[in-house]
Homo-oligomer: A and B are copies of this chain.
Amino acid sequence: MNLNKLFKPKSMAVVGISKKNPISPGRIIFVKNEFEMTVKTYGINPEGGNIEGVQLYTRLDKLPEIPDLLVIALPAESTIQYVEECAHLNIPACIIIGGGFAEIGSEGLNLQKSLEKIAFDNDIAVLGPNCIGVYSPPLIDTIFMPTERITRPPKGSVALISQSGGVLVDQFFHKFNEIKIGVSTAVSIGNRAVVDEAMLLEYFSKEDKETSNIAFYLEGFKPNKARKFLEIAKQSVDMVITYFGGLSKEGKMAIKSHTASLAGNEKILSAALKQNLIIQPKSESELLTFLKLFNILSQRKKPFDENMVVFGKVAILSLSGGHGVICADLLKKYSLSIVAFTEQQQEEMRKLVNPVARNIASFNNPIDLTGSAQDEDIVNIVQYISKIEQIECIILLILPYAPSISFMIGRRISNAITQPKKPIVCFIPYIEKYGLIIEALELSNIPVFHSIKETVQAVSALKVRTKIYNLRKQNPPVYWNDR
């Protein structure tokens, strides 16, 4: 089944456009694609007429061309006839917004089975039902919330697939936008009657050149599709990350009424994911940190050496002793370790900083330059520790509260780390007035985080990445008993 027309259609038609209700899903989808996106959009309404000055067509077969994609925003019963029409007119892709299928029980299940049969018999890439569709900037956006209500992430390297529309729009769109992660294509799979997570993983992994990282929110695998999913993940050159909802007993109960999936046994699932080099973040914050880091590493301009290896040996450079202590505690939690400096190294570093800081700073790891640090001190120490071979990664805890830190510090760090390009991850408090410092680092693709925890999670992401790259050479096995 070819998914290309689902995500890269030249033209698309929308049915279910209400003339009375401006916030009906069909109308919102039609209007936002007509006015905001680049795809050629046609609106269908049996009565014809127009919406906001744009002509509507009475029937699909009256359109000037056969569209690549049909978006159906109608109740379940009326939906089927349009899918049949897709078969009849050779429309290769279809997004079904409406609910009332398998998720409501036996009655809806029959409708969904009819739907599946038409789709598979006629090779139509049907997304949904009961979904919010596709966002593939700048081409199409079938998310039926008004654009001014949501926040849309920029174009980037991450393909997003979610079993929950709410999670797609909130945990992914909103958060991605906030922490500047870019999306290649975002997909809400709903009941995944036809197009499922394994097909999507295959498409984004093998066919979509814009994608380098693939993230899933799932509440369980589609029955009989787990093994396929794992096999594809194992062969992927992209980073594959799955975040599962409903692994607890309480969560499982909640799933029953949501997607009627089954997340299954947590331990078996985790083992199978790990075995097949799929990353399973422990929390929403870890999910986002990992994606932010991988998105940065997918940029054309690389911040670090391409062949960098991080198994977890870290140096911490801080301007606050307390931050160093908290960071050290967190390193332990994420199975990373602090490299001890020799007496000689400590003495050499001491000579590199200004006389006031020199007398009160501490050059153990974590290094604490104190609030008396100046820009030059930070640059000198970063360059010094970059050259220490056993250190694989540097954590910089920059607090621009210190009176002598200038607004040049971001730019100066960016310039300092070009040779050798040892991985560096920065913590800077997220305060508007420090935007200039943060921007200087981000323009050089240096990862910047706004809590010590995320900063440590980012180093953990580097370690995970190193391990996956190493394991990919060994071709690990797939273990999963499909039902």
Instruction: Point out residues on A near B: beta carbons under 8 Å.
Output: 23, 25, 28, 99-100, 103-104, 132, 144-146, 148-151, 162-167, 169-171, 174, 217, 219, 245-251, 253-259, 283-285, 316, 318-329, 331-333, 337-338, 359-360, 362, 364, 366, 368, 370-371, 399-404, 429, 431, 433, 451-453
B164 adjacent to A254 (CB under 8 Å): no
* Given A149-B401, A250-B328, A328-B250, also A453-B283 (CB < 8 A): yes
CA distance A248 to B170 in the complex (A): 35
Residues from chain B with a CB closer than 8 A to the CB of A144 are 371, 403
A–B Cβ pairs within 8 angstroms, 14 of them:
A144-B371, A151-B431, A167-B323, A171-B322, A245-B322, A246-B329, A250-B331, A251-B325, A251-B332, A253-B338, A254-B316, A257-B362, A257-B366, A258-B368
User: Which B residue sits closest to A146, measured CB to CB?
Assistant: B403
Option from B171, B247, B333, B431 in Cβ contact (under 8 Å) with A329: B247
Residues from chain B with a CB closer than 8 A to the CB of A320 are 164-167, 170
User: Which B residue sits closest to A322, measured CB to CB?
Assistant: B164
CA distance A283 to B454 in the complex (A): 12
The 3 closest A-B pairs by CB, nearest first: A166-B320, A164-B322, A258-B321
CA distance A320 to B324 in the complex (A): 39
Residues from chain B with a CB closer than 8 A to the CB of A364 are 253-254, 256-257
B431 adjacent to A174 (CB under 8 Å): yes
B431 adjacent to A326 (CB under 8 Å): no
Residues from chain B with a CB closer than 8 A to the CB of A431 are 151, 174
B371 adjacent to A338 (CB under 8 Å): no
Residues from chain B with a CB closer than 8 A to the CB of A150 are 401
Option from B166, B337, B404 in Cβ contact (under 8 Å) with A399: B166
Sample of 7 further A-B pairs with CB below 8 A, known A166-B322, A246-B328, A258-B362:
A164-B325, A174-B429, A248-B328, A249-B332, A251-B328, A251-B329, A284-B326
Option from B249, B325, B362 in Cβ contact (under 8 Å) with A245: B325
Option from B148, B162, B401, B404 in Cβ contact (under 8 Å) with A322: B162
A164 adjacent to B246 (CB under 8 Å): no
* Given A146-B403, A371-B166, also A324-B151 (CB < 8 A): no
A149 adjacent to B400 (CB under 8 Å): yes
CA distance A332 to B477 in the complex (A): 33
User: Which B residue sits closest to A432, measured CB to CB?
Assistant: B151
User: Which B residue sits closest to A163, measured CB to CB?
Assistant: B322
CA distance A323 to B251 in the complex (A): 10
Q: What's the minimum C-beta distance from A105 to chain B, rounded to whole angstroms?
A: 11
Q: What's the minimum C-beta distance from A100 to chain B, rounded to whole angstroms?
A: 7
User: Which B residue sits closest to A169, measured CB to CB?
Assistant: B401
A401 adjacent to B170 (CB under 8 Å): yes
CA distance A401 to B283 in the complex (A): 23
CA distance A219 to B364 in the complex (A): 17
Tell me which of A145, A324, A362 has the highest count of chain B C-beta atoms within 10 A of its own C-beta: A324
Residues from chain B with a CB closer than 8 A to the CB of A166 are 318-323, 371, 399, 401
Q: What's the minimum C-beta distance from A436 to chain B, rounded to whole angstroms?
A: 13
A360 adjacent to B402 (CB under 8 Å): no
CA distance A169 to B401 in the complex (A): 8
User: Which B residue sits closest to A333, measured CB to CB?
Assistant: B248
Residues from chain B with a CB closer than 8 A to the CB of A254 are 316, 321, 324-325, 327-328, 338, 364, 366
